[in-house]
Amino acid sequence: MNAARRAATTIRPDIQALSAYAVGHAEDAIKLDAMENPYGLPDQVRDAVAAAARATALNRYPAARHDALDAAVRAAFGVPDDAALLFGNGSDELISLIVQACCEPGDVVLSPVPSFVMFELSARFHHARFAGVPLTPDFQLDLPAMLAAIQARQPKVVFLAVPNNPTGGRWSDAAIETILAAAPGLVVIDEAYQPYADGTWMPRAATLANAVVLRTVSKIGLAGLRFGYLAGPAPWIAQIDKLRPPYNIDVLTEAVLLAVLRYKPVLDEQAARLRASRDDLARELASLPGITVYPSSANFLLVRFSGKMGANAVHQALKTRRIRVRDFSGGDPALADCLRISLGTPDEHAALMAALRDILA
Ligand code: PMP
C-alpha cells in the first residue's frame, strides 16, 4: 500500500495545501524570536516547582475540577469573581475551541491583518472562512474598514489581539468599544501581551454581552507550561467548555503553575524589567541607518529595514552570528521588510546591537 497516495486521496485538500506552523529551533543561540521571557526562575522557585512535581501522582487522570488553580489564577491575574473561567493547553487551544463552538462551515472569522496567524489557521481548520482587514500602512487599526467589514461579512467571531502580534500596537478602548457595538457575534480580546501594556479589559470580563478576554502565561516566563485562560460571561464560557478535551490541563501543569503563582511577584518583576528596557532598545535600533521601529506595547519590537540590506538578509546574517529573530518575508506583503525582535536581557540587547552595527556597516 502506498501511504503517500492513500493520504493524498484521504486528507482534506486544503490541509494538504497548508504548510505546518513553523517553530524555530535554536540551541545555544540568543533567542529573540518567540516572545519568551529570557530570565529563568530563581532557585527558590525552581525548588518549589521540583517539590510540586515530586508530590504529583502521575498514575491518575487530572481531576474534573480545578478549584485551587481557579482561585490562584483569579487572584494572580485579577479575574473578576463573577466572570466564568476556562483553561486551555496554551491560549492556542482556546482560540481553536472558540472557533469550533461558534462557527458552522462557511461562517466568518474576522481579524485585523497582520495579526496572530492562529486566528486564520483555526478558522480554516474548522471550515470557517477568514476575513482579514488590513491595518493602516503604519500598522494602526483601520476602524472604518473594520466596521465596514463587520457589516458586510457578519462574522461569528472577531479576534482582536490587544496588543497586536506582530506589530506591537494596542488598539484604543474606544475603538474596541465601537467594534463590540457593531459585532453580531463574539469578540475575543486576546491580551497575550497585556503584562507589557497599559490597560486591560479583564475587569469587565463578566459584564460584556458579546466579549471574552483571552490570556496566556507564555509571555511572562512560562511558555513551556502551555497554559492559557479565557474569562467571560458564564453563558459564553459554559458553551465553549463543552468542546474542551476532558484532561486538557495535565497534572504537572496544574501542580507547577500552583507552585509558581505563589511567587507571582518574581514574574511581575521580570516583566517590568523587560518592559523598562523596551524604549532603550527601540531608541538604539532607530539610530541605525534605514531602520524604522514601530511603537510597541508588547515584549517585542517590529522593525522595518529600508536600507541597502533587506530584512531577510539581515535575518540570515544574524542567524550566522547565532542570534535568532523572526523574519516575515514571504508572508503578508505588509510585513515584507520587517523583523520582529523579542525583548531579551541587557547582554542580549548589547549583542544584538553589536551584530546589527556590524551587519549594516
Ligand atoms: N495570542 C497571541 C496574540 C499570540 O501572539 C500568541 C503566541 N504567539 C498566542 C495567543 C498563543 O500563545 P500560547 O498558545 O502560548 O498561550
Give start and end residues of each alpha helix (H) in the chain.
3-10, 13-16, 43-54, 67-77, 90-102, 117-125, 143-153, 173-182, 234-241, 251-261, 264-286, 311-320, 346-360
CA distances in angstroms from 293 to 224, 282, 285, 289, 304, listed in the order given: 29, 6, 7, 11, 6
From 21, 118, 170, 226, give the residue whose CB has the most ligand 1 atoms within 8 Å, as the site to mutate: 118
Ligand 1 atom closest to the CA of 35, numbered from 1: 8
> What pLDDT sits at residue 299?
98
Lowest mean pLDDT among 15-24, 29-38, 259-268: 15-24
Residue 219 Cα to ligand 1 middle (Å): 8
Domains of the chain, by residue range, sit at 3-42+265-360, 50-263
- Percent of the chain's residues with pLDDT above 90: 94
Residues 27-41 have a mean pLDDT of 93
From 218, 230, 302, give the residue whose CB has the most ligand 1 atoms within 8 Å, as the site to mutate: 218
* 199: pLDDT strictly greater than 80: yes
Q: Whose CA is nearest to atom 1 of ligand 1?
A: 192
CA 161 to chain centroid, in Å, comes to 8
From 86, 89, 92, give the residue whose CB has the most ligand 1 atoms within 8 Å, as the site to mutate: 92
Range 228-261 burial, b when 16+ CB lie within 10 A, else e: bbbbbbeebbeebbeebeeebbbbebbbbbbbbb
- Of 156, 166, 160, 167, nearest to 99 by C-alpha is 156
> What pLDDT sits at residue 204?
98
pLDDT in tens, 276-319: 999 999 999 999 999 999 999 999 999 999 988 999 999 999 99
Residue 289 Cα to ligand 1 middle (Å): 32
- Of 132, 135, 137, nearest to 149 by C-alpha is 132
> What pLDDT sits at residue 1?
67
Ligand 1 atom closest to the CA of 95, numbered from 1: 10
Ligand 1 atom closest to the CA of 91, numbered from 1: 16
Ligand 1 atom closest to the CA of 164, numbered from 1: 3
User: What size, in residues, is the chain?
Assistant: 361
Residues 213-228 have a mean pLDDT of 97
> What pLDDT sits at residue 329?
81
* 233: pLDDT strictly greater than 70: yes
User: Residue 284 burial by CB count (10 A; 0-12/13-18/19+): exposed, middle or buried?
Assistant: middle
> What pLDDT sits at residue 27?
74
Q: Whose CA is nearest to atom 12 of ligand 1?
A: 91
> What pLDDT sits at residue 123?
98
Residue 85 Cα to ligand 1 middle (Å): 18
* 345: pLDDT strictly greater than 80: yes
Q: Which CATH architecture has domain 3-42+265-360?
A: Alpha-Beta Complex (3.90)
CB 122 within 8 A of CB 110: no
Ligand 1 atom closest to the CA of 92, numbered from 1: 14
* 24: pLDDT strictly greater than 70: no
Pairing, β 228-232 against β 84-88: antiparallel
CA 41 to chain centroid, in Å, comes to 21
End-to-end CA distance of the chain: 57
From 21, 36, 165, give the residue whose CB has the most ligand 1 atoms within 8 Å, as the site to mutate: 165
> What pLDDT sits at residue 247?
95
- Candidates 3.50.30.60, 3.40.50.2300, 3.20.20.140, 3.40.640.10; CATH matching 50-263: 3.40.640.10
> What pLDDT sits at residue 127?
96
Ligand 1 atom closest to the CA of 166, numbered from 1: 5
> What pLDDT sits at residue 214?
98
CA 297 to chain centroid, in Å, comes to 13
* 138: pLDDT strictly greater than 80: yes
pLDDT in tens, 49-66: 999 999 999 999 999 889
Range 181-203 burial, b when 16+ CB lie within 10 A, else e: ebbebbbbbbbbbbbbbeebbbe
Residue 293 grid coordinates:
521601529
* 21: pLDDT strictly greater than 80: no
> What pLDDT sits at residue 61?
96
CA atoms within 13 A on the CB side of 17: 6
Query: In the structure, which protein residues have their CB atom closer than 6 angstroms to any atom of ligand 1?
Result: 90-92, 116, 161, 165, 190, 192, 216, 218, 223, 228
* DSSP states along 234-268: HHHHHHHHTTS-TT-S-HHHHHHHHHHHTTHHHHH
> What pLDDT sits at residue 18?
87
The residue type found at 55 is A
C-beta atoms surrounding 119 within 10 Å: 25
Pairing, β 291-293 against β 157-161: unpaired
The C-alpha angle with vertex 314 and arms to 311 and 317, in degrees rounded to 5, equals 150
Q: What is the mean pLDDT of the chain?
A: 96
Pairing, β 291-293 against β 300-305: antiparallel
